[in-house]
Amino acid sequence: MPVKITRLDIEGFRSLRKVSWHPGDLNVVIGPNGSGKSNLLHFLELISVSAQGRLGKYIQSLGGMDAIVWDGQAASIKFALDIQSYELFNDHYEMELEFNRLGNSYKINNELLTGLFNVKNTLNEKVIKYLSRTNQTAYIRDAVKNTTISVKESLVLRGESILSSAVSPFDDEMDISRTQDNLASITIYHDLRTDKDAPIRQATITRFEKRVESDGQNLVSVLHTLYTSDRDFKSDINLAMKAAFGDDFEELVFPPASDQRIQLRVRWKSLKREQSAADLSDGTLRFLFLLTVLASPDPPPVIAIDEPETGLHPSMFPIVAEFAQDAAMRSQLIFTTHSPQFLDAFTDARPTTTVALWEKGETVLRTLPKDELDYWLQRF
Ligand SMILES: Nc1ncnc2c1ncn2[C@@H]1O[C@H](COP(=O)(O)OP(=O)(O)O)[C@@H](O)[C@H]1O
Ligand SMILES: [Mg+2]
C-alpha cells in the first residue's frame, strides 16, 4: 500500500457533527439511507478539492456554507487527518474553516501540516512543521535551506489552502508536494450517469487516458487505452465478463466511428453483430466501469465509490469484491453501501467494516471488530 489515510476526524460538516474514523486498506461503510455515507465521501472530496485550490467553487457547488455546516449551527468545519506513505512518512494535516454567518462565507483560520520522523540510528521521533497558518499569517518550511519562511500576506488566500499554493513544479523536496499530490489525487465516484444521452454511451475522441474521471464519463477512452495496451488488464476484464455473462462473451472491440472517434462494442459468440455501448444495459456499463477503476494498473492513492452495487445483479458482487481485494494492494479503497449482500460478497478477507447510523441528528460511525462483523452479517 503506497499511501493511506489512517485517521480522519471531521467536525461540523452536514450530518458529520463530530466523527473519528480509522480506515483500513479496504473499507466498506454500510448503513441505511440518510445515515451520512455520501456525506463522508463528499468530505473526502472536499479535502481533495481543497488540496487542488478549488475549495471556494466546491463549497459554492454544495449550496454554500449555510447549507453544509452541521444543522446550520456549527461555527466551523474542521478536519484532521493522518496519512501514511510508503510506510516511511507519517504526515498530519488539519484545517478549520470558520463560518461567517452574515456573508454566508468562510475563511480558513487554521491550517497545519506536520511530519513525524524517525531520527537516524535512534529510536527517537521528531515532528517537523512543514506548513502552518493562522488566518492570513502563514509559514512554510524551506526544505533546501532547512529554515522556516513566512508567506507574503498577499499570497495567502482567505478561502484556499496554503497546501494548494505552496507547491511549485520545481519543488522536488518531498514534504509539501507529497501531501499536496496525495490529497489532490483522492478520487470519489458518485452516481454514474448511464441514461441514453450520457457521454459514456457515445462515440468518444481517442485520447490516451489511464484514469477514469470522477464522473466516469471518460470510461470508454480509458478502457480503450488500457484494454489495447495492457495484456494483464485485458485478461482481467475478459475473465470478469465471462464470469458475469458466461462463455458467450468473446471480447471488447473499439471500432472507429467518425474522424478521431471510437466506439465501445461487445462481441458475443452467438451474435453476428457486435453490440454497441448505446445498447448495453445500465448494469453492464456500471460493471465495466467498476472493473476498469479497480483493475487500473496506475490508480489514484485513494478511491471511494458511492454505492457500487447500484444497478448490478447480485451475482456480480463477488466479482467486484475480488477485483477490490486485488486493487486494495495498490490503492486505499472505500465503498459505501446499503446492501449487506454486497458486504457479504467479500469472502476471502473481510474488509474494514464501518456501520453508519443517523442518531439524534448526527452521523455515528462505528467500525466493527472482525468477530462482531460475522455476527452482524448473520443477523441480516
Ligand atoms: N447541514 C446539515 N446538517 C445536518 N444534517 C445534514 C445537513 N445536510 C444534510 N444532512 C443530513 O444528511 C443526511 C443525508 O446523508 P447522506 O450522506 O446523503 O446519506 P446516505 O448516503 O447514507 O444515504 C440526511 O439525513 C440529511 O438530513
Ligand atoms: Mg448516499
Residues of the chain short of pLDDT 70, as ranges, are 168-174, 379-380
Rounded Cα distance, 133 and 159, in Å: 12
At 164 the three-state DSSP class reads: helix
Give pLDDT tens digits for 195-252: 999 999 999 988 899 999 999 999 999 999 999 999 999 999 999 999 999 999 999 9
Neighbours of ion ligand 2 (CB under 5 A): 38
* Model pLDDT, residue 315: 96
Report which of 218, 303, 367 is spatially closest to residue 44, judged by C-alpha positions: 303
State whether 82 and 125 are in the same domain: yes
In a domain, 194, yes or no: no
| Residue 354: all three cell numbers together | 464501518
* Model pLDDT, residue 171: 55
Of the listed ligands, the closest to the CA of 40 is 1
* Model pLDDT, residue 172: 52
The pTM (predicted TM-score) of the whole model is: 0.95
* Model pLDDT, residue 380: 62
**What is the CA(15)–ligand 1 centre distance, in A?**
5
Domain termination residue (choose one: 219, 251, 285): 285
* Model pLDDT, residue 304: 98
In a domain, 16, yes or no: yes
Domains: count for the chain: 2
Ligand 1 pocket mutation pick from 13, 39, 66 by most atoms within 8 angstroms of CB: 39
State whether 68 and 182 are in the same domain: yes
**Alpha-helical regions (H) of 53-123:** 55-61, 65-68
In a domain, 121, yes or no: yes
Domain termination residue (choose one: 285, 320, 353): 285
In a domain, 216, yes or no: yes
* Model pLDDT, residue 170: 54
**Alpha-helical regions (H) of the chain:** 37-52, 55-61, 65-68, 162-165, 174-184, 219-229, 231-245, 282-295, 317-327, 340-344, 370-379
**Owning domain of residue 348:** 3-186+301-379
Give the up-direction half-sphere exposure of residue 192: CA atoms within 13 A in the CB hemisphere.
30
38: Cβ below 6 Å to ligand 1?
A: yes
Domain of residue 153, CATH code: 3.40.50.300
Report which of 272, 274, 267 is spatially closest to residue 248, judged by C-alpha positions: 267
Rounded Cα distance, 310 and 194, in Å: 12
12: Cβ below 6 Å to ligand 1?
A: no
* Model pLDDT, residue 169: 57
State whether 173 and 84 are in the same domain: yes
Q: In which residue are the cell numbers 453476428 written?
A: 272
Rounded Cα distance, 158 and 214, in Å: 27
CB 212 within 8 A of CB 292: yes
17: Cβ below 6 Å to ligand 1?
A: no
State whether 39 and 172 are in the same domain: yes
* Model pLDDT, residue 120: 75
Domain termination residue (choose one: 285, 310, 326): 285
State whether 36 and 152 are in the same domain: yes
